[in-house]
Structure 1
């Protein structure tokens, strides 16, 4: 047992490593299902890289525990097996520190969006670097002072500072999350975050006890074997509980959670429950399309907007029209429903306004910066100037080509057919009303079984 405790390779070690491998597989499956099964396009910006970095940090944390505590039989003869690489840098800044820092950044984003009702004042990558900086400094100090022995165990007086740093980041995450607990979210961001924090706190409690025992009772073989196995298993459970659904992409989270309900949430408006979301119409119009009318008035008509967006997409320039449709959905959300307005506004910003977005619209730099630096994401006129610029741009470019396109000709033909059907329906309705008002004595057809004839014949039968 003594040899097993020192060199690794105990049966309990292999069980703990198997649990760690299974947890990594489950993490990858959970992160990839919304994009593989539901074919959701990969998000850009922090919505993707924050989640990806958490997966990498989870893998680093598990691997660092396996390598540093000697679960596998190998000798530390090469530089890559150094204790300071695995127990200090991979476990700290690249593992637990990176995982907690990403979660703090996500909680910071929620705090700014739904409490301050603004975009975060600092870019996520910059804020993540600031949060992660203390871990880098601490690892550098440990690297310089060299407190680890050949089995990667620290001296006793180093245990308290190391545990304190871990606890400090948990406290920071709880603090940011507690500041937004009064917000009633449309999706389950806060619920998932709290669940991860609570379960993680329990796992971290056991983790701290196992880590302390493993560091202090270095000469006790039984304690070494049990404590390191518990340490790795608790780390696996910690990651599974902590890595909940992405709070940066609620639509992807909703799609994965609504898998069995057979509902189509292809637009953010659908997921937010906006009435008539995803439809281009509210009411069928019978008025003819007049090219001399203002473009903003024409876009309010369902038939014209549907034809115009098809033409714009065929020219690979449909971003402006889709942006207009998203604003129609935003206008349907009540003014006092700040949570849903913020969700929709942030979706529009991520999709159309942010530089490099999937459907970035062509607006001026001044207008773009006004939106990106807005003090209120729920403001009624947040996208007003952008819409004015895009309407003017569509007038100058798309509208001129549209009137001579086959899309407009097809629209006019459909309009003529619908007008003819409408007139025929009206005429048939009027003729049926006239026929119903004809008296028996004035019936020009003298039908054999007319009501007049039937009544007279019944009277004759009664007289007989």
Structure 2
């Protein structure tokens, strides 16, 4: 027992390492499977890379404890087994510090967006290093002062400052989360955040006790084995539970591996429960499309909108039409429901406005800055100037080509056929009572799925 307590390789050590490997595999599965199975599109913003950094930080934290506390028995020492590499740098700034810093950034974003109602004043890639700076300074001081003994344990005078640094970051996360308690979130961001804090606080509490005992009483072999096992075990539970209770992008957090849930929340509009979310229903009355009418009026027709959107997508210029559609959905959310309006506005900004967005629209720098610097994300005129610019571009470019395209010809033919069919039904005395409609499958609007890519478009 005394030998393996100092050199590593006790049976309990290998059990703890096996548990940690299992937790890391589960963590990777929870991160990757939604993108593989549900085909969730990978966003380019902080909603993706903050989560990716958390996964890396979780792995660093577990690996650093394995290496620093001699869980595995090595016959010889090498430079890559340096105590300062694993115990000072990887465990601190690149492990626990980085993990908590990412969550603080996410909580800070939620606080600014939903409490202050404006975009965060600092970009995540700038804020994250600033939050991580105390860890970098602390690790540098520990390295310069040679604060570790030959067992990779901190000397007694350094244990309390390092423990307080860990607690300070948990307290900062709790502080930002408490400031969000009065917001009625549509999704489970704050609820999940509180659950994550509860799990992490419980795990960190036991972790700190084991850490202090392991650092101070390194002369008691049995205590070293037990506390070492508890350190790695609680760390594995911490990183898995902390990541599983994610507050990343709302749509991704809503989508489980259930196909049913995925179909419900394939767009932000559906996830927010916006009525008439661009779907074309069967049995709707036909309407003749007049090319001489203003484009903004024609786009109010859902069948024309979908046909025009498909044409724009075929020309690789569909961003403007999709932007128009989602801004119209935003307009259907009542002004007395600011939380849902902020959700939708944030989604539109992340998807169409910010530099490098997946569907970045071609608007002026002035309009873009007006949106990004807004003091109220729930205001009804947030995207008005940008929408006017894009409407002008669509009238000058897409609209002229659309009237000569096969998409318009197909839409016109379908309108003619539906008009003839509607007149025939009236002549033959069809009864469109709710009772008959409910059993006549083709007239049931919920009989089949409709999607924006459906080519069997119908006119309003």
- TM-score in same-fold range (> 0.5): yes
What residue number does 2:437 align with? none
Q: Which moved more, 1:45-54 or 1:232-241?
A: 232-241
Q: Which moved more, 1:183-192 or 1:269-278?
A: 269-278
User: Secondary structure at 1:55's aligned position in 2?
Assistant: helix
| Distance in 2 between residues matched to 1:260 and 1:362, nearest whole Å | 35
Give structure 1 stretches of 5+ with no counterpart: 431-464
| Distance in 2 between residues matched to 1:76 and 1:109, nearest whole Å | 47
> Relative to 1, partners in 2 of residues 1:113 and 1:20: Cα closer, same or farther, differing over 3 Å?
same
What residue number does 1:318 align with? 318
What residue number does 1:338 align with? 338
What residue number does 2:114 align with? 114
What residue number does 2:233 align with? 233
Q: How does 1:135-146 map to 2 (within 5 A)?
A: 135-146=135-146
Q: Which moved more, 1:329-338 or 1:276-285?
A: 276-285
What residue number does 2:398 align with? 398
| Distance in 1 between residues matched to 2:262 and 2:108, nearest whole Å | 34
Q: Which moved more, 1:174-183 or 1:415-424?
A: 415-424
Q: How does 1:282-301 map to 2 (within 5 A)?
A: 284-301=284-301
> Relative to 1, partners in 2 of residues 1:75 and 1:82: Cα closer, same or farther, differing over 3 Å?
farther
Q: How does 1:28-107 map to 2 (within 5 A)?
A: 28-74=28-74, 77-107=77-107
Q: Which moved more, 1:303-312 or 1:275-284?
A: 275-284
What residue number does 1:442 align with? none
User: Secondary structure at 2:211's aligned position in 1?
Assistant: helix
Deviation per CA, 1:35-59: give whole Å up to 9, x if none. 1111111111101110000000000
Bigger RCO (CA 8 Å, 6+ sep): 2
User: Secondary structure at 2:256's aligned position in 1?
Assistant: helix
TM-score of the pair, normalised by structure 2: 0.90
Deviation per CA, 1:387-443: give whole Å up to 9, x if none. 10111000000011111111122222222223333344445559xxxxxxxxxxxxx
Report the Cα offset of residue 264 of structure 1. 3.0
| Distance in 1 between residues matched to 2:221 and 2:194, nearest whole Å | 37
Aligned-residue Cα RMSD (Å) equals 1.8
Deviation per CA, 1:109-144: give whole Å up to 9, x if none. 110111111110100111101100010011111111
What residue number does 1:436 align with? none
User: Secondary structure at 1:114's aligned position in 2?
Assistant: helix
Q: Does 1:265 align with 2:271?
A: no
| Distance in 2 between residues matched to 1:7 and 1:260, nearest whole Å | 52
Tell me if structure 2 keeps the 8 A contact 1:66–1:72.
yes
Report the Cα offset of residue 257 of structure 1. 6.8
Report the Cα offset of residue 184 of structure 1. 1.5
What residue number does 1:208 align with? 208
User: Secondary structure at 2:72's aligned position in 1?
Assistant: coil
TM-score of the pair, normalised by structure 1: 0.89
User: Secondary structure at 1:323's aligned position in 2?
Assistant: helix
Tell me if structure 1 keeps the 8 A contact 2:256–2:262.
no
What residue number does 2:14 align with? 14
Deviation per CA, 1:52-86: give whole Å up to 9, x if none. 00000000000000100111112563221100000
Q: Which moved more, 1:310-319 or 1:384-393?
A: 310-319
Tell me if structure 2 keeps the 8 A contact 1:206–1:234.
yes
What residue number does 2:355 align with? 355
| Distance in 1 between residues matched to 2:79 and 2:225, nearest whole Å | 25
User: Secondary structure at 1:256's aligned position in 2?
Assistant: coil
Report the Cα offset of residue 351 of structure 1. 0.9
Deviation per CA, 1:208-249: give whole Å up to 9, x if none. 111111111111111111111111101111112211343231
Q: Which moved more, 1:199-208 or 1:159-168?
A: 199-208
Tell me if structure 2 keeps the 8 A contact 1:285–1:301.
no
| Distance in 1 between residues matched to 2:113 and 2:282, nearest whole Å | 31
Give structure 2 stretches of 5+ with no counterpart: 431-460
Report the Cα offset of residue 259 of structure 1. 4.9
Tell me if structure 1 keeps the 8 A contact 2:147–2:155.
yes
What residue number does 1:453 align with? none
| Distance in 1 between residues matched to 2:203 and 2:256, nearest whole Å | 26
User: Secondary structure at 1:243's aligned position in 2?
Assistant: helix
Report the Cα offset of residue 288 of structure 1. 1.8
User: Secondary structure at 1:419's aligned position in 2?
Assistant: helix
Deviation per CA, 1:150-180: give whole Å up to 9, x if none. 1101111110100010011110000000000
What residue number does 1:198 align with? 198
User: Secondary structure at 1:379's aligned position in 2?
Assistant: coil
User: Secondary structure at 1:43's aligned position in 2?
Assistant: coil
Q: How does 1:364-403 map to 2 (within 5 A)?
A: 364-403=364-403
Moved over 6 A (4+): none
Deviation per CA, 1:258-302: give whole Å up to 9, x if none. 556574321111111112225156994543211111110111112
Report the Cα offset of residue 181 of structure 1. 1.2
| Distance in 1 between residues matched to 2:235 and 2:39, nearest whole Å | 31
| Distance in 1 between residues matched to 2:162 and 2:75, nearest whole Å | 26
Deviation per CA, 1:184-225: give whole Å up to 9, x if none. 111111111111111211111111111111111111111111
Q: Which entry has the higher C-alpha Rg, 1 or 2?
A: 1
| Distance in 1 between residues matched to 2:278 and 2:302, nearest whole Å | 12
